[in-house]
Amino acid sequence: MSNNQTDSQQKPHRVVVVMPAYNVAPVVRKAIESLPPNIINEIYVIDDGSHDGTAEVAEAAGATVITHPKNRGYGGAQKSGYLAAIASDADAVVLVHGDNQYDPSYAPEFIRKILEEGCDIVAGTRMVLGDALKNNMPIWKYYPIRATTFIQNLMLGTSITDYHDGYRAYSGAFLKSVPLDRISNRFDFDFDMMIQGVVYQAKIGEVPHPTRYSDENSQLPFDKAVACQLTIFKSAFKFLLHRMGLRRNALYEQARKAG
């Protein structure tokens, strides 16, 4: 074994959290402080054009704040965080929402899936523990999630149990391979990333976790949820047509060549 290989094996893993945040000053400190400090090297809070002091609260809580003067959207915020994570040579990157809806204490399990099981993508799921409705997930959200997840699995050839869970983690290597600048800045960003996972034949894992539905946790309004689903299915159809060879898409061609 060469010295370079030995050094590479002994190099400690770098783990970072990317936390999109928009007007969540009352809860962002709680989200940051609930993260396990012993296994996370850095927390990037992306203040996406907030006007309530979110950035100041996050910085006081010990996070590294990346500020967007204007709101770029859910996907745009993630992109800034992932680019920072890539620049810092992160091995595992966990997406935790700044509104504290997804319990940050579950982050170690996402990290373990990346570092120990070799997953490229880890998706959270609210549909395995059987407590989604007990935890006050709205019925108008629960059944459409089950139905659309089933259809999206058919379209992409995957077996994800909850396509619309926002708790995610990625390996640093996977993020480096994805053309982030060409993916949506909106709420369909997560789905576009899953398509990239299919393109790269990524190893995908899941972590069951409870979700909080309370006044302090933001939820996507019904009309925006419907619009988001329509956009997601549009992306799914584009990829399906590409994979069938009926209508080639440069995004997926580029991704294949880049890999």
The C-alpha atoms of residue 169 and residue 100 are separated, in whole angstroms, by: 16
The C-alpha atoms of residue 246 and residue 153 are separated, in whole angstroms, by: 20
Which one-letter DSSP state was computed for residue 98? T
- The residue written with tokens 């059987």 in the block is 130
Position 243 scores a pLDDT of 83
Position 214 scores a pLDDT of 58
C-alpha 1 chain-centroid distance: 37
Cβ(27)–Cβ(99) below 8 Å: yes
Position 49 scores a pLDDT of 96
- The residue written with tokens 């007990």 in the block is 134
Position 142 scores a pLDDT of 86
pLDDT in tens, the chain (259 residues): 334 444 445 678 999 999 999 999 999 999 999 999 889 999 999 999 999 999 999 999 999 999 999 999 999 999 999 999 999 999 999 999 999 989 999 999 999 999 999 999 999 999 888 777 877 788 888 888 899 999 999 999 999 999 999 999 999 999 999 999 999 999 899 999 999 999 999 999 999 998 877 554 455 566 666 777 788 888 888 888 888 888 888 788 754 444 4
Find out if CATH 3.90.550.10 is the number for domain 11-258: yes
Position 221 scores a pLDDT of 63
Position 258 scores a pLDDT of 42
Position 250 scores a pLDDT of 79
**Would you list the domain boundaries of the chain?**
11-258
Q: What is the DSSP string of 2-58?
A: -HHHHHHHHSPP-EEEEEEESS-HHHHHHHHHTS-TTT-SEEEEEEES-SSSHHHHH
- The residue written with tokens 């579950």 in the block is 106
Q: What is the DSSP string of 169-236?
A: EEEHHHHHHS-GGGS-SSTTHHHHHHHHHHHTT--EEEEE--B--STTS----HHHHHHHHHHHHHHH
Q: What's the whole-model pTM score?
A: 0.87
Position 39 scores a pLDDT of 93
